[in-house]
């Protein structure tokens, strides 16, 4: 039961991250269409957002590993 919940939680977090990436890319393209002179700035903004998403994902992976350790200890 715990594994099913953890898999659903992991899938939810992955879907949430993907939705954030898609929304950021969509927003960047919309902004680019509005002002084509802002292209270098938008690249910088998107790079910053991607770094933040990467950090969040790494933190999520660390927390999942920690949760697995606690679940394994609880199963013993």
User: In the 8-state DSSP scheme, what is residue 36?
Assistant: G
pLDDT for position 62? 92
Q: Give the model confidence (pLDDT) of 46-66 as tens digits.
A: 888 888 999 999 999 999 999
Q: Which band of pLDDT confidence, cut at 50, 70 and 90, is reported for residue 71?
A: confident
Rg (CA), the chain: 18
Task: Report how far residue 42's alpha carbon sits from residue 74's, in angstroms, rounded to the nearest whole number.
Answer: 47
Average predicted confidence (pLDDT) for the chain: 79
Residue 10 pLDDT > 80 = no
Return the ∠ at Cα 13 (arms to 71 and 19), rounded to 5°: 175
Token digits of residue 75: 């199963």
Q: Which band of pLDDT confidence, cut at 50, 70 and 90, is reported for residue 41?
A: confident
Task: Report how far residue 71's alpha carbon sits from residue 76's, in angstroms, rounded to the nearest whole number.
Answer: 9
User: In the 8-state DSSP scheme, what is residue 52?
Assistant: H
């Amino acid at each position: 039961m715990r594994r099913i919940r953890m898999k659903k939680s992991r899938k939810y977090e992955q879907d949430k991250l993907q939705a954030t990436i898609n929304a950021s890319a969509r927003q960047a393209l919309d902004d680019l269409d509005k002002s084509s002179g802002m292209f270098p700035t938008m690249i910088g903004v998107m790079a910053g957002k991607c770094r933040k998403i990467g950090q969040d994902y790494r933190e999520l992976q660390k927390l999942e590993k920690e949760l697995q350790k606690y679940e394994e200890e609880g199963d013993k």
